[in-house]
Amino acid sequence: MDQNQKKKAAAEAALAFVQPDTIVGVGTGSTVNFFIDALASKKNDIAGAVSSSDASTQRLKKLGIEVFDLNSVDDLDIYVDGADEITEHKHMIKGGGAALTREKIVAAVAKTFICIIDDTKHVPILGRFPLPVEVIPMARSYVAREIVKLGGDPAYRQGVVTDNGNIILDVHNLEILNPVELENQLNNIVGVVTNGLFADRCADIVLTGTEQGVVKS
């Protein structure tokens, strides 16, 4: 089984959590793309979706799934999304596809965060994957200097503009022993929109595609 088959298996397993007549929170990325494709089989049973990126919105609409503005939705039962790294405490790094801010907003609204991954995403300590930080463009150099003071090594993600019109700094060489503390410290730097640590609001259910099938934790 290759990595994509594992992602697809995890994504399809998440369909079991989709209830009829509900609006589904949808993340972003290659694993979520498998989920969106699978969700199309239920498009007549669900009320629609709230999306975390322009890319996911386009894919949902192309498959005939109605996409609602989050401001028109009071609550969401589930939010389904991938991750770049995850620990046994279900703390994650996200944002490899630069969609972290909208992902964090939709995740904040949802009752249950269902993380869909292949088994390469499990790590003992977060930080080998460079931590994405979304930054207001004019604050880029200031934020980078502040991140260096916190022990990180920020790199400007060239050529990437987020759906919100901002830039991404990828922070290398972090060994994140206290993800909740670092998430809050980074968010307190003026000019940071948000960062890719999902620790304060971590996943509730993790579906991992493995050689032996999908494992729920």
Ligand X SMILES: O=C[C@H](O)[C@H](O)[C@H](O)COP(=O)(O)O
Closest residue to ligand X, judged by C-beta, is 29
Query: Which of 94, 110, 134, 197 is close enough to bind ligand X by CB under 6 A?
Result: 94
Q: How many CA atoms lie within 13 A of 186 on its CB side?
A: 30
3 binds ligand X (CB under 6 A): no
DSSP helix/strand/coil, 57:
helix
Q: Which of residues 52-91 bind ligand X (CB under 6 A)?
A: 81-84
Query: Which of 25, 96, 130, 179 is close enough to bind ligand X by CB under 6 A?
Result: 96
Q: Report the Cα 123 to chain-centroid distance in Å.
A: 16
Q: Annotated binding residue at 94?
A: yes
**Binding segment for ligand X among 24-32, 159-167, 181-189, 202-210 (CB under 6 A)?**
24-32
Strand runs labelled E in the chain: 23-26, 48-51, 67-68, 76-81, 85-86, 92-93, 110-118, 131-135, 153-156, 167-172, 192-195, 197-198, 205-210, 213-216
107 binds ligand X (CB under 6 A): no
Q: Which residues pair with 23 in a beta bridge?
A: 48
DSSP assigned state of 122: B
99 binds ligand X (CB under 6 A): yes
User: Which pair of structure tokens corresponds to residue 147?
Assistant: 């991140």
Contact 200, 180 (CB under 8 A): yes
100 binds ligand X (CB under 6 A): yes
Q: Which residues are catalytic?
A: 103
98 binds ligand X (CB under 6 A): yes
Which of 85, 146 has the CB closer to ligand X? Answer: 85
Which of 116, 147 has the CB closer to ligand X? Answer: 116
157 binds ligand X (CB under 6 A): no
Give the amino acid at 208.
T
Known binding residues for substrate are 28-31, 81-84, 94-97, 121
Q: Which residues bind ligand X (CB under 6 A)?
A: 27-31, 81-84, 94-100, 103
